[in-house]
Structure 1
Amino acid sequence: MAETASTNSALLERLSHGEAPVQGQWLVADRQTAGRGRAGRVWTDGFGNFMGSTAVALRDAEALPQTLALVAGLSVHRALMAVVPALSGLVLKWPNDLLVGEAKLCGILLERQRDAVVVGIGVNLAEAPDVPGRKTASLAGLGYDVSRDAFASALAETWAEDLTAWHAGGWPMLREAWLVRSLPKGTLLGVNLSEEGHVIGGFAGLEPDGAVLLRLADGSVRAIHAGDVELIGASRSDVGGQDASGG
């Protein structure tokens, strides 16, 4: 569509009126006037960027719904490498960001409506928003000219494959595929926890339920199930004994 307030909001409204989610269908907009990200952040509208949402019907005895954020990140990573094989430094950061180096290239937002989850994805293809205190990147700024439609086609294919696997009980395999593409183990991450304040630790992998593991300075490992995780610095091998090899 040419313009909408938010592709996520548009799909949520349809679901609230009883429309059933259709696996594989995407709502993609040229413009968003009220896009949003996690924690109420503004999802900046950049013409030529990818701004799209899809809905997933939840079934009994499936993996936990929150793991869909990681599946979506994996699908975006695979789609980007399909359209730009030469792109280097692309990594996944828990729970829903893709970075090139330390700069954010993509964000993902999940919102639940009864027995469905709307997955919203924004990728900086043509423009990188100016976000105070955060590094951002675009494919165009990195020297790669990728059309919105070419990326959308690649994403539709990778998402269909990964979602089919997720529905079929393939979350453990998808989790391992996510880890292969994630930040190196030992990368310093910080998260604000309501009762404990700011916690810093080295990235140590994922729990089976999708929680991120942080190795703290005392060597203990802490599972973080929810929170806004920030990149503190480059990979280090002296944080809780973690090496800097790939996840």
Structure 2
Amino acid sequence: MSWPGGYGRRVLAEVDSTNAEAARLADTLAGPEWICALRQTAARGRRGRPWANPPGNFAATLVFRPEGDARQVALRSFVAALALYDALASLTRAEAALSLKWPNDVLLSGGKVAGILLEYPAGPGGPLAIGVGVNLIAAPGAEAVEPGAVPPVSVLAETGVRLSPEGVLDALAEAYARHEGALVTYGFGPIREAWLARAARVGEVITARTGREERRGTFETVDDDGNLVLKTAEGRVRIAAADVFF
């Protein structure tokens, strides 16, 4: 597997978090760079939640300056999800057990095996950091997630395949570069269709919770801006950001 041209590769023995390291390095990088840590001491998930990252699991961040406005930049969560799906499918041969959960999780056998976090280390308009965490060897216990959330799983427990962080990094970087090229060349349409083809629970009733409200409805699609589209008793609703519960 070849490393994609134009992307830097940095593997660290230990760091507080790869997104924090991306923030420190962002202004010094000449181009896109992947930062992978074999151990994190202060990993974070969405909304500042702690992310369990024992040795052997995967943690990496891609930091770069994508073109486009904030809406277009945010679509990289779909690019990253597709890339991670492809990387895990190729390494485990368990494609049939993988699916994607809006807005930015990868599921394996119905459990959460990976999460993706997009941040602007220097604020909007600056470099984008795409953090990726994968439970390769171990997953947190069900008590570590909020009630009703998808239970965590690991690649090793579900597939019997032991993957190395460096091997996952190489596969992910290659897949990401391929999908990023497609987004830049052809727009979001093909990315959206590919994501929907791998999405979990399309056509089923799900719950979307924001900090202010809860919406329950049938998961119809994802629109051209990446919003979740639900069919509810009050009509069709588009949701830009939420936690989804099955």
TM over 0.5, yes or no?
yes
Q: Is the 8 A contact 1:37 1:43 kept in 2?
A: yes
Deviation digits for residues 34-55 of structure 1 (CA, Å, limit 9, x no counterpart): 0100011111112111100011
| TM-score between both structures, scaled by the size of structure 2 | 0.85
Q: Mean alpha-carbon deviation: is it higher for 86-95 or for 200-209? A: 86-95
Q: Deviations over 1:132-188 (max 9, x none)?
A: 444111011112222222221111110111112222243211111111110142222
Matched, 1:213 2:225: no
- Corresponding position: 1:178 with 2:187: no
What's the counterpart of residue 242 of structure 1?
A: none
Counterpart amino acid of residue 34 in structure 1: A
Partner of 2:48: 40
Aligned to 1:14: 25
Letter in 2 for 1:230: F
Report if aligned partners of 1:214, 1:223 keep a CA contact under 8 Å in 2: yes
Q: Give the superposition deviation at 1:61.
A: 6.6
Alpha-carbon distance in structure 2 between the residues aligned to 1:45 and 1:93: 21
The residue aligned with 1:125 is 136
CA contact (8 A) 1:71 1:162 kept: yes
Distance 1:20 1:80 in 2: 28
Shift in Å, 1:213: 0.7
Q: Is the 8 A contact 1:91 1:182 kept in 2?
A: yes
Q: List aligned pairs for 1:117-156, cutoff 5 A.
A: 117-130=128-141, 131-132=144-145, 133=147, 134=149, 135-142=151-158, 143-156=160-173
The answer (yes or no) to whether the contact 2:77–2:116 under 8 Å persists in 1 is yes
1:110 matched to 2:118? The reply is yes
Alignment match, 2:35 = 27
Structure 1 unaligned blocks of 5 or more: 232-247
| TM score, norm. by length of structure 1 | 0.85
Q: Distance in 2 between matches of 1:145 and 1:49?
A: 10
> How many Å separate the matches in 2 of 1:105 and 1:7?
18
Report the AA paired with residue 13 of structure 2.
A
Q: CA RMSD in A?
A: 1.8
In structure 2, which of residues 202, 210, 215 is the aligned counterpart of residue 199 of structure 1? 215
CA distance, structure 1, for counterparts of residue 154 and residue 30 of structure 2? 31
Contact 2:64 2:129 survives alignment (8 Å): yes
State the alpha-carbon separation in 1 of the partners of residues 97 and 233 from structure 2.
27
The runs of at least 4 consecutive aligned structure 1 residues that moved more than 3 Å come to: 60-63
Contact 1:21-1:55 within 8 A present in 2 as well: no
**How many equivalent pairs are there?**
226
Q: Is the 8 A contact 2:38 2:165 kept in 1?
A: no
Letter in 2 for 1:137: V
- Match of 1:160, SS state, is helix
Distance 1:184 1:192, change over 3 A: closer
Provide structure 2 residue ranges, at least 5 long, that are not aligned to the other structure: 1-11
Q: 1:57 to 1:184 in 2, by over 3 A?
A: same
Instruction: Report deviation, 1:71.
Output: 0.9
Q: 1:82 to 1:12 in 2, by over 3 A?
A: same
